[in-house]
Amino acid sequence: MIYKRLFFWFLTLTVSVLLLRNFVGETFFIPSTSMEDELMAGDFVWVNKLAYGPRFPETVLTIPFTKNTLPFSETTPSYLTWIELPYFRLPALGQINRNDVIVFNFPAEEGAPTDKKANFVKRCIGLPGDTIAISDKIVSINKKESALLPCVKYSYEIFATIDSLSSYLYRRLHIMEGGLISSDNKYIFLLTEAQADSVSKMSNILLVKRLSVEYATTDMFPGGKFSFWNKDNYGPLIIPQKGKTIHLNIDSIELYTRIITVYEKHGMATQHDSIFIDGHYATTYTFKMNYYFVLGDNRDNSDDSRFWGFVPEDHIIGKASFIVFSLNQMLGKSRWKGMNWSRCFTSVKY
């Protein structure tokens, strides 16, 4: 009898935890510096899934409490794709707003179901229907310049009179990302605007200059005839919106090929100057989902929408709400288990 009760309580606890994780929220580990200074590598962030509506799992045949591979294996999946549910989301407590920090499945990942793709966290800059443009690093939405958030970082070139600036800046301002790049005391650091202003006022600093890319690069989304863009000068680009109909032509199809074929699962082919969707000649297309444009706060060290495109609504997991706890990897064992106590239970700002 006791074993039946133990099994019942174990089963109840397991189901409760699964329901909590799937429909209420869960913690997400920040593995990189792309969202500094708002989110630091080592933070464990609570992701609120109620904020944008809990998303039903697509892959239901999954071993609970595992990542995407079986324990002690790096290649064997912990799920089966025999049954995949269509995208469905319960009613939300709110909606995605500009500057929300959102957690989502990485859209550009290939070969995995949507809910099994890697988790990313970025700041939502553009909403469905917005026109986004970046000019000399400054973001504009619908032709209106966006205010620079205090947490946004850029690359700065610094000339100093000392060769120990890295340790000096760490002690004074806790600046960690960057360092000496030449023997003439030239440095490059990733700084917020306030940090750059503080550094420029130091007695051993000769020059502080924000760096900007002027030449075109080939790794920007969507490529092709848009290859004259770069991470500091980008767009203008219209973000797709559910229900909006666009005109298709052979010049603009690069923008929408992945949306039509991968995210909204249609067949598409081109023949000469003609476009065929599901075998039918098409001059227009109506989007079935909303899409979003995201950037990392650490703008010069972030893999974001500038490089791989839009975030579909069915990839969105939830809203990063607060930091549960934080492991400061720079502290090592100088504090109890490297815990960064000052960041624990602090909210994520928008």
Q: How high is the pLDDT of residue 321?
A: 94
Beta bridge partners of 269: 276
By C-alpha distance, which of 93, 28, 121, 40 is closest to 343?
A: 40
Residue 109 and residue 87: Cα distance in Å, rounded?
18
Instruction: Give the helix, strand, coil percentages of the chain, each rounded to 5.
Output: 20, 35, 45
Of the pLDDT bands very low, low, confident and very high (cuts 50, 70, 90), residue 330 is low
Kindly give, in sequence order, each residue whose CB lies less than 8 Å from that of residue 266, ignoring residues fewer than 6 positions away. 260, 277, 278
Residue 278 and residue 264: Cα distance in Å, rounded?
12
Q: How high is the pLDDT of residue 335?
A: 42
Report CA-CA distances (Å) from 295 to 34, 101, 167, 198. Answer: 9, 10, 29, 25
Interval 315-326: pLDDT, tens: 999 999 999 988
309, pLDDT greater than 60 = yes
295, pLDDT greater than 90 = yes
- Rounded to an integer, the average pLDDT of 113-138 is 95
Residue 100 and residue 35: Cα distance in Å, rounded?
12
- Rounded to an integer, the average pLDDT of 70-75 is 82
DSSP letter, residue 343 = G
The maximal CA–CA distance of the chain, rounded, in angstroms, is 78
34 within 8 A of 122, measured Cβ to Cβ: yes
Exposure on the CB side of residue 310, measured as CA atoms within 13 A? 30
Interval 7-60: pLDDT, tens: 778 788 878 888 888 889 999 999 889 998 899 888 999 999 999 999 999 999
Kindly give, in sequence order, each residue whose CB lies less than 8 Å from that of residue 347, ignoring residues fewer than 6 positions away. 321, 322, 323
